Amino acid sequence: MPSLASAARAHPSLAWGGGASRTPRHAPSAAVAPTLRVGKDKVIFSEADRATHVYRVLSGVVRTSRLLSDGRRQIEAFHFEGEVFGLEVGDEHRSGAEAVQEAVVAVYHRGVFEGASPADAALSGQLVAALGRTLSRAREHMVLLGCKSALERVAAFLIGMSERLGGEVLRLPMTRADIADHLGLTTETVSRSFTLLERAGLIEAGPDRRSIVLRDVEALRRLDA
Amino acid sequence: MPSLASAARAHPSLAWGGGASRTPRHAPSAAVAPTLRVGKDKVIFSEADRATHVYRVLSGVVRTSRLLSDGRRQIEAFHFEGEVFGLEVGDEHRSGAEAVQEAVVAVYHRGVFEGASPADAALSGQLVAALGRTLSRAREHMVLLGCKSALERVAAFLIGMSERLGGEVLRLPMTRADIADHLGLTTETVSRSFTLLERAGLIEAGPDRRSIVLRDVEALRRLDA
DNA sequence: CGGGCCGTTGACTCTTGTCAATCGCGGTGG
DNA sequence: CCACCGCGATTGACAAGAGTCAACGGCCCG
């Protein structure tokens, strides 16, 4: 099972990272995880690619998204350090993945899912757990997209980021367009919502507009509904 | 492991169905699946209930949904015959389930998930597969909620129903309010979209307004984007 | 120093939501 | 069997939230 070779084939334009992997070098069988380094906005896999691998973010940030034929985009999720993405049930990817900022990802052969080798059992379990977490997030996001107003969405987004990045001082790695496509809004509406929150004193934005300080997390939570 | 007893405890107000179960009576261990009969709009489990069981629809239709504190509701999915619902990663339900119309559901003890007994291995695999399908649907739905217009959503809904119920003559089991809360719209907008589609000759509605004939599936698909 | 990208802001449009009235099917009870 | 009643669905008028289009500003990078 040439997992490394086939992964390289799937990403001819990408270079393999060497020593950055967190997986011990002596780990046996398919659990050996080579790493992949991807530059900002570079594609990790595309919609309809064969889903031969599963990925974990070692550093940087990745987005997974789906495109409609006319260019509309839905970003399903942003993936931060330690998070798994690229899991599929069928044999092809239903969403694409790109790096939001330069990222290093571990690449696992998809076969570990079947749990053929006992050495892979633990990894397989981890993947089921990751599947569960992904589903949980997706459900939460459906509520956001189906029920909430623009301001509520942005508030929820900021709270989520704060919880995941830790702390009330954030440096958002993604553009307003990414945020908009994640929240089902336009960049203008996202921008206006930030401005509203700032004017209300709930947040404070740095001059670069990517650094955000949450001044009143409680109020944001109340807004989130 | 008193799966039957504990399930009964969880649903004190509900009667157990007797012979309707599809699970062979001689099946061993936790794979024994008692059945539960629930009347229209009756609760199967609520948000925040302990997730002790997993369910499969034997007949009828079930909806799973989440509520916001102010009453806004997002229906995550409708579940038809053969479909699994109530799967959770954590130990409590993150969404509630009610019967859309009188339904009979098989109740599985959640323990089969851990795959402790080899007799449960097959069932456990089925559940992972169900988890995958649920995730896949959720992702598709996120695209609908995040990107599509009202008309596109309704068209997508009708096509989906047609594919799941089989055929172009549908009898929708749910109200306009259910459809609206599933599609992130209001009943009025759903109603207007139906009217538009009917005036355009793409669908035809029976006098009861629940029976729908898809006159032009191709056009509906094109609308869906 | 210049250019392009990202973000913000303003003016306006338009889709969808809100509120309210009416319709009509289907079930119930006489 | 028929009349009534109630709920779900439809329709209309209007309001409002979000989208669109366009211009501008500032930062970063070449």
Taking the stretch 160-179 of protein chain B, residues with Cβ within 7 Å of any atom in nucleic acid chain D are: 175-177
Between chains, do A89 and B134 touch, taking CB under 8 Å as contact?
no
Amino acid A119: pLDDT: 62
What is the DSSP-derived secondary structure letter of residue A200?
T
What percentage of chain B carries pLDDT values higher than 70?
A: 82
Instruction: Name which of A205, A195, A196, A220 is nearest A171 in CA terms.
Output: A205
Query: Hey, is the C-beta of B138 within 8 angstroms of any chain A C-beta?
Result: yes
Task: Kindly report the nearest CA distance between residue B25 and chain A, in angstroms.
Answer: 30
On whether the pTM is more than 0.75, the answer is yes
Tell me: pLDDT of B10 over 60. Answer: no
CA distances from residue B78 to A90, A150, A204, B75, B141 in whole angstroms, order as listed: 21, 27, 42, 8, 12
pLDDT tier, B211 (very low <50, low <70, confident <90, very high otherwise): very high
Amino acid B203: pLDDT: 98
Q: Give the burial class of B48: count Cβ atoms within 10 A of its Cβ; 0-12 exposed, 13-18 middle, 19 or more buried.
A: exposed
Instruction: Name which of A182, A185, A172, A154 is nearest A65 in CA terms.
Output: A182
Residues B214, B158 contacting (CB under 8 angstroms)? yes
Contacts of B188 (CB under 8 A, 6+ apart): none
Amino acid A124: pLDDT: 79
DSSP states of A73-116 as a string?
A: EEEEEEE-TT-EE---SSSB-SSEEEEEEEEEEEEEEGGGGGT-
The separation, in Å, between residue A208 CA and nucleotide D26 C1' comes to: 9
Tell me: pLDDT of B37 over 80. Answer: yes
CA B164-B170-B175 angle, to 5 degrees, is 95
Secondary structure, 3-state, A63-82: EEEEECCCCCEEEEEEECCC
CA distances from residue A98 to A172, B143, B184, B215 in whole angstroms, order as listed: 16, 18, 28, 40
User: For strand C, is any atom closer than 7 Å to the CB of B186?
Assistant: yes
pLDDT tier, B13 (very low <50, low <70, confident <90, very high otherwise): very low
What percentage of chain B carries pLDDT values higher than 90?
A: 74
Residues A121, A115 contacting (CB under 8 angstroms)? yes
Mean pLDDT, rounded, of chain B: 87
Between chains, do A184 and B145 touch, taking CB under 8 Å as contact?
yes
**Span B76-93, mean pLDDT?**
96
Tell me: pLDDT of B158 over 60. Answer: yes
Amino acid A89: pLDDT: 87
Q: Give the burial class of B19: count Cβ atoms within 10 A of its Cβ; 0-12 exposed, 13-18 middle, 19 or more buried.
A: exposed
Query: Hey, is the C-beta of A110 within 8 angstroms of any chain B C-beta?
Result: no
Q: Which nucleotides of D are covered by protein (CB under 7 A)?
A: 8-13, 17-22, 26-28
B185, two tokens: 């719209």
User: For strand C, is any atom closer than 7 Å to the CB of A210?
Assistant: yes
User: For strand D, is any atom closer than 7 Å to the CB of B157?
Assistant: no
Residue B224 CA from chain centroid, whole number: 21
What is the DSSP-derived secondary structure letter of residue B118?
G
**pLDDT, block means (10 residues), chain A with 225 residues:** 41 38 41 88 97 96 98 98 95 97 95 66 83 96 98 98 95 98 98 98 96 98 94
Amino acid B22: pLDDT: 41
Q: Which amino acid belongs to residue A206?
A: G
Backbone angles phi, psi at B76, to 5 degrees: -70, -45
Tell me: pLDDT of B157 over 90. Answer: yes
Residues A79, A64 contacting (CB under 8 angstroms)? yes
Residue of A63, A69, A73, A74 to mutate for B, most B C-beta atoms under 10 A: A74
What is the DSSP-derived secondary structure letter of residue A50?
B
Amino acid A128: pLDDT: 87
pLDDT digit string, tens, across residues B56-78: 999 999 999 999 999 999 999 99
Amino acid B110: pLDDT: 86
Residue B105 pairs in a beta bridge with B36, B57
User: For strand D, is any atom closer than 7 Å to the CB of B187?
Assistant: yes
pLDDT digit string, tens, across residues B98-143: 999 999 999 999 877 665 566 667 777 888 899 999 999 999 999 9
Report the residue from A74, A131, A225 with minimal CB separation from B143.
A74
Sign of the Cα torsion A49, A51, A53, A59 reads positive
Half-sphere exposure of A155 (CA within 13 A, CB side): 22
Instruction: Name which of A4, A30, A28 is nearest A17 in CA terms.
Output: A4
Of the listed ranges A15-29, A91-105, B30-44, B197-211, the one predicted with least confidence: A15-29
User: For strand D, is any atom closer than 7 Å to the CB of A160?
Assistant: no
Q: Give the burial class of A16: count Cβ atoms within 10 A of its Cβ; 0-12 exposed, 13-18 middle, 19 or more buried.
A: middle
The H or E element spanning position B60 is: strand B53-67
Tell me: pLDDT of B27 over 60. Answer: no
The separation, in Å, between residue A207 CA and nucleotide D27 C1' comes to: 9
Residues B62, B99 contacting (CB under 8 angstroms)? yes
Query: Hey, is the C-beta of B129 within 8 angstroms of any chain A C-beta?
Result: yes
Report the residue from B70, B128, B148 with minimal CB separation from A128.
B128
Between chains, do B135 and A131 touch, taking CB under 8 Å as contact?
yes
Report the residue from A72, A129, A147 with minimal CB separation from B74.
A147
Amino acid B116: pLDDT: 54
Q: Which nucleotides of C are covered by protein (CB under 7 A)?
A: 6-11, 15-20, 24-26
Contacts of A66 in chain B (CB under 8 A): 139, 143
* Crossing angle (nearest 10°) for helices B150-165 and B187-199: 80
Residues A223, A151 contacting (CB under 8 angstroms)? yes
Classified as helix, coil or strand, B205 is strand
Task: Kindly report the nearest CA distance between residue A122 and chain B, in angstroms.
Answer: 13
Tell me: pLDDT of B30 over 80. Answer: no
The separation, in Å, between residue B194 CA and nucleotide C3 C1' comes to: 50
Amino acid A53: pLDDT: 96
Other residues' Cβ atoms within 10 Å of the Cβ of residue A211:
13
Protein residue minimizing CA–C1' distance to C25? B208
Amino acid A111: pLDDT: 80
User: For strand D, is any atom closer than 7 Å to the CB of B211?
Assistant: no
User: For strand D, is any atom closer than 7 Å to the CB of B204?
Assistant: no
